[in-house]
Amino acid sequence: MMHRFAASVLFVLSTTHVLAAPQEECVGRYRLTLPSEADVAMTTEKAFVGQQISPIRFADDRAAPLSSFIYNGTFAISKDVSRNDYDVFVKEAKANVVASAGKPYADQRFSTIETDDPNSFAWKGPKTSGFYTYIDGTAISFVARSPSEQRALEALEHSKARAAGEVPATRGVCLPGIFVESDQPDYARDVGVTYRLKAHPDVLIFFRDSKALENQPKLTSRQQSEFVWTGGFGVGKKVKLHGVLPWRTVKLDGREGVGSFGTITRDDDSTDFGYLVTVQGDPAAATDTPDLLLYVERNASASQGKPPVTADEIEKIGEEVAASIKRR
């Protein structure tokens, strides 16, 4: 009997993929718990110093097309850019600003914004403003659709480096590798971050905190879910939702949303699984009430030779991450 019990325990330990130490994380103005240590997709070096399709990727170049780093402007955040490459890039940017003074039209001219930080360069144009900075091995750029010096300088002065798993106690917005401290209302916030479990790289966890705005389409939680499953996220050519009543009530941070779980048929006819929760925001609410979205997916083709997790395990991971999401 004891031998049988021991064998059962060993079997569970060898087949269960969610027993590792959890990792605390934060996305936008929310915190969540990942089931184990995870990598995060960030801006590539190529995209930071130039252009690249799907500029946010993991270290092995696998794209994370759902990710977005928008907070009062658009951030690019990269740990792949060396300090030397950053200095060369900023030197060129400064030269371009100086050269723009000779341009024939006003909308082609840019100017420098004075800063006290020797690691940073801030600029403004007729319709935009922004900065470049390098903090603790992280290259950061920011562009706002506003010529306001204050917009760029506030974002620069309040941006701090943040380690993986570090959840700041002060109010502000979390992006991969950085934290922007702020207790002011946000002009815009669409922070979506993609994680990949290190022990099981076939498991992707995406969470998005998106400020609800008056001029955006007001999709219900159910409509948002249908948009994702019917091709809005490019998950595959077909999705079969599980259950007689596949739409269920799931709460994120105490707010009711719609949860669903499905089998995904990829374009090559392989199958995977996905767990989705969407919560509708309210732009008219007295307090910030954003759209929230959690998507947990198995992508067996990314398993790197390890046994992919099962459908039950993906659903369990999704449920546990959903239960952990709280306003930070």
Percent of the chain with pLDDT over 90: 86
CA distance 88 to 219: 45
On average, the pLDDT of the chain sits at 92
Any domain includes 222: yes
Any domain includes 55: no
Any domain includes 274: yes
**pLDDT value at residue 234:** 85
Q: Of 2-11, 71-80, 263-272, which range is least confident?
A: 2-11
Any domain includes 312: yes
pLDDT level of residue 284 (50, 70, 90 thresholds): very high
Give alpha helix (H) positions in 184-246: 221-227
CA angle 320, 325, 327 (to 5 degrees): 165
Average pLDDT over residues 315-322: 98
Any domain includes 323: yes
Three-state DSSP class for residue 317? helix
Any domain includes 270: yes
Domains in the chain, number? 1
Torsion of CA 120, 124, 129, 135, to 10 degrees: 0
148 CB neighbour count, 10 Å cutoff: 13
Residue in 30, 29, 32, 54 with CA at minimum distance from that of residue 42: 54
Any domain includes 243: yes
**pLDDT value at residue 18:** 46
Any domain includes 77: no
Residue 230 structural domain: 208-328
